[in-house]
Amino acid sequence: MRGELIDIGGRRLRAVRQGPAGGPLVVCEHGAFGCAADWAIVQEKLSDLGLRSLAYDRAGMGHSDPGPEPRDGRAANEDLSALLDAAGETEPFVLVGHSMGGLSSRLFALTRPERVSGLVLVDAVTPDALDLPGASAAVAAFGQLLRLASFAGRFGLMRPVSLISGNLIGLTGEAAPEKRRIHGSAVHARWAAAEVLQWPATASLAGAAELPKNLPVAVVTAGAAHTRKPLKAIQEIPAMRSRFGHIDHVARCNHANLLGPRYADAIVRGVEHVLVMNPARGG
């Protein structure tokens, strides 16, 4: 197992810390059915720039112990806050959220603004996305699909599937087989489903208020600006409302490989933007 298991009060979350000591911390929040391994390429690139980062597995997923239900954004954020405290991370940090992780990241920035110095939303779900035609039905179907994956995983049926779809990001090194093992895990799928079934509740919580206008927000999406126009228009809103916004539509990539070696530089640019533009740092 890469990383370490950190006790947050009777249960443990797996965290992968990378980069030199000192300086601002970048916290990476994975998407639905994801894990800390998803961020391996991004973490390497951040480390090469002298930035330190932390990626982790949410409760029940990857190598982390399960947590109390319901597994909505509040529960995820309580765990993240406890993890950072246990890890001795007390300074404000940059929060980077991919896909459904963007909802809990937004909620964290709303409810714990003193802890977040900048927000990077990576092809992220926004609260308004559920208003798009067919979105609610698709989320419900995804949750049921993950439940089926959990059932299939008990009999080892997800292992061959993981060989095909377990590394769409394009991970290398230790992270690649780790991602495939987790992708084929029945326990992982069970707790991923628990989160997805709480997606509407988390969206409601995350959409209850607007982000502070002085919070630097970078939005990085998969695909050129002219693709998926209704969704991209919604995804842009947090950056457009920020006084320190940044928008980057990355052509020729998809939702998964945006985190991979070919396209992850766009995410790093988003991180650099919010670090430079943080008002507390003189941006």
Partners of residue 94 on adjacent β-strands: 26, 118
For the chain, domains (ranges, CATH) are 4-277 (3.40.50.1820)
Tokens 């003189």 -> residue: 282
Mean pLDDT of 66-87: 98
Per-residue confidence band for 278, with pLDDT thresholds at 50, 70 and 90: confident
Asked if 221 and 249 touch (Cβ cutoff 8 Å), the reply is yes
Q: Which residues contact 71 (CB under 8 A, 6 or more apart)?
A: 58, 59, 60, 191, 194, 195, 198
Q: For the chain, give the percent of residues with pLDDT over 90.
A: 75
**pLDDT (tens digit per residue) in 198-242:** 999 999 999 999 999 999 999 999 999 988 888 899 999 999 999
Tell me the β-bridge partners of 218: 120, 246
Residue 159 confidence class, pLDDT cut points 50, 70, 90: low
Q: Which pLDDT score, from 0 to 100, does residue 283 have?
A: 44
Terminal C-alpha separation, the chain: 39
For residue 157, what are the contacts with CB-CB under 8 A and spacing of at least 6?
A: none
User: What is the pLDDT averaged over residues 19-23?
Assistant: 91
246 exposed, middle or buried (CB, 10 Å; 0-12, 13-18, 19+)? buried
Contact 122, 98 (CB under 8 A): yes
Instruction: Look at 152 and 32; give whichever has higher pLDDT.
Output: 32
Q: What is the pLDDT of residue 148?
A: 64
Q: What is the mean pLDDT of the chain?
A: 90
Sign of CA dihedral 207, 89, 48, 18: negative
Residue in the structure block whose two tokens are 């000192």: 22
Show the tokens assigned to 63: 């190598």
CA separation for the pair 13, 36 (Å, rounded): 11
Q: Within 10 A of 280 (CB to CB), how many other CB atoms are there?
A: 9
Residue 131 reports pLDDT greater than 90: no
**Which of 34-48, 80-94, 225-239, 261-275 bottoms out in mean pLDDT, i.e. has the lowest?**
225-239
pTM for this prediction: 0.93
Q: Encode 68-83: b = buried (16+ Cβ within 10 Å), e = exposed.
A: eeebbbbbbbbbbebb
Phi–psi pair at 119, nearest 5 degrees: -130, 130
Is 80 exceeded by the pLDDT of residue 157? no
What confidence category does residue 163 fall into, taking pLDDT thresholds of 50, 70 and 90? very low
